[in-house]
Chains A and B, each alone.
Chain A
Amino acid sequence: MLEAYPDNRLARILLWSFCALVMAFLILPTLVVVPLSFSASNLLEFPPRAYSLRWYETFFGSATWMAALRTSLILGTLTAMIAVPLGLLASISINRLGGKAAVAIQGVLLTPSIVPGILLAIGLFFVLAAQRLVGTLFGVLVGHVVLAIPVACIVLLPALARFDWNQVQAARSLGANWARAIGGIIVPQLQISLLSATLMAFLTSLDESVISIFVSSGQNSTLPKLMFISLRDQIDPTIAAISTLWTVIVVAVVLIVTLRQKS
């Protein structure tokens, strides 16, 4: 865009230096945690004087942390398994209805992502409390699914907009009912977007902290909830180990999915 000003070298240098600084700012916190997770001491020293895997051992050796990890992974998987099919059906619905109906449905389905998380958390807390469901896996799952549905829709709606609906009509003319049309024609062709949506739904649940803080408790605490409690109280280096693992796994998965998309 700025090729029309080839001589403004100083401006360019300033702009790009600024750019580099801001990017460093963005990546710094995530990076800084990695070497710390390998530090032998439990004091903040940088660079670490001695290296050790003790914090990883603490994490994997702790019953509480492992229970939380298990809970979060189960919740993540269940959330993806529920939110993505529901999101797909809703997206098909929006795509086909069009007009005011589509706008209304979309509006409703997107509310969980617009409303502040804390409101959803306490509201859900009240609703579940009335049914004595606070602290159950089911309660937290409902909260996660309701956050994941709009995320799935945001990924799937554009994919459906690009989809050639004539194929479905061809399939129907050949005798397929709706289940076969959706399952056999739409789903296979939306594979990449569905994968993306699944990943995003899973991550939404995994990373979800506010609702979990209010609604999960004891055995059913999620990993983020435990991390939050720990962060508020002290600065346990075990969290550095968890953070590093988390970052590495998420980045790896995202890279794999993106690279698969490109090929």
Chain B
Amino acid sequence: MTVIADPFLAADARRERRFFLSLSLPALFIVGLAAILPIVWIIRQSFLTTAGEYTVGNYEKVLSSGLTWSALVTTLELSLGTLAICILLGTPLALALASARPRVANLLMAFVMLPLWTSILVRTYGWLVLLRRDGLINAALTGSGLTAEPLPLVYNFTGTLIGMVHYMLPLFLLPVYAAMRDIDANLVRASASMGATLGQTIRTVILPLSAGGIFSGSIIVLIYTIGFFITPAVLGGGKVNPLSTRIERTLSTFQDWGSASVLGILLLVLMALIGVMFLAARRLIAGHKVGTAHA
């Protein structure tokens, strides 16, 4: 890199940089105003009483409440449950798509991504129609005689989980599919030529090389799901209360801004913890990357 010795040229370079910087100021301003500032406000609000005085009372109240911790547990149960099912359903799906001819794969991918274009409320309504006691699935089950009684599939944990998996599966699929598509076809051929069965090749070649994609997909699933509000609110029927619905309850029903803020901070901390864990895990995996052949 050449060092600019001429002071006038240096000044020009700085001016140009300042110009380009200024182009992003409007966007940065709005994001600062409508995203950063609100977060800061929440932090501040968590330390305020209804009268406006500084206190840690909110924290004491919220962190000692059993409801808070059960909300945290529900949040984790929903997120980890969604992740587990996404991995179970999404990985084979990605494999099928990655092994299809490019045209077929593109078509199927578009099909898979289609739900993302429809409103979450539309999809949630669809699940209500399907899962209710008087809904379509139960009608089919009792009508065909498979079950005597309609099954409680919604307004509970199960229904919420189904809704969350349905939302996150396409988003999980994207990075996994991309990673699998990137695998050199000759690697699979090489493995076959050396005598590996399909199962062995999947286990020792395809899955390890897709790990990065599965990792990325998992981060996406966890970070999104811990903040999910609509799905548990509608499909949970009031019985499923992760942090997000507790925040809403605290705010709208009890008008307790302070406690709601504390719960918000808790959610933020949870998110940060997940982020840190993944960064650490990534570093650990990168260092351990070179594995053995004996699978």
Give A contacts to B, CB under 8 Å. 1-5, 8, 11, 15-16, 18-19, 22-23, 25-33, 36, 43-44, 46, 86-87, 89-90, 92-94, 96-97, 101, 105, 108-109, 111-112, 114-120, 122-127, 130, 142-143, 145-146, 149, 153, 178, 203, 206-207, 209-210, 213-214, 224, 227-228, 231-232, 235, 239-240, 242-243, 246-247, 250-251, 254, 258
Contacts and interface: CB of A to CB of B under 8 A. Distances in A.
B119 A207 contact: yes
B129 A33 contact: yes
Nearest to B45: A126
Given A3-B185, A93-B20, A207-B119, 10 more contacts: A5-B198, A26-B170, A29-B124, A32-B136, A86-B26, A89-B24, A118-B229, A119-B38, A235-B129, A235-B132
Given A30-B123, A32-B126, A90-B24, A23 B112 contact: yes
Contacts of A36: 129
B82 interface: no
B139 interface: yes
Contacts of B119: 206-207, 209, 224, 227, 243, 246, 250
Contact of A126 (B30, B41, B188, B193): B41
B206 to A, nearest CB: 8
Contact of A231 (B110, B128, B223): B128
B5 interface: no
A243 B37 CA distance: 35
A86 B21 contact: no
The prevalent SS among residues of B at the interface is: helix
Contact of A123 (B42, B128, B169): B42
Ranked 9 nearest A-B pairs via Cβ: A116-B227, A123-B38, A29-B126, A93-B24, A146-B34, A90-B27, A4-B192, A243-B122, A93-B23
B96 A16 contact: yes
Interface of B: 17, 19-24, 26-28, 30-39, 41-42, 45, 89, 92-93, 95-99, 108, 110-112, 114-115, 117-130, 132, 134-136, 139, 166, 169-170, 180, 183, 185, 188-189, 191-193, 198, 201, 206, 223, 226-227, 229-230, 233-234, 244, 247-248, 251, 257, 260-261, 264, 267-268, 271
Contacts of B32: 108
The prevalent SS among residues of A at the interface is: helix
A232 B233 contact: yes
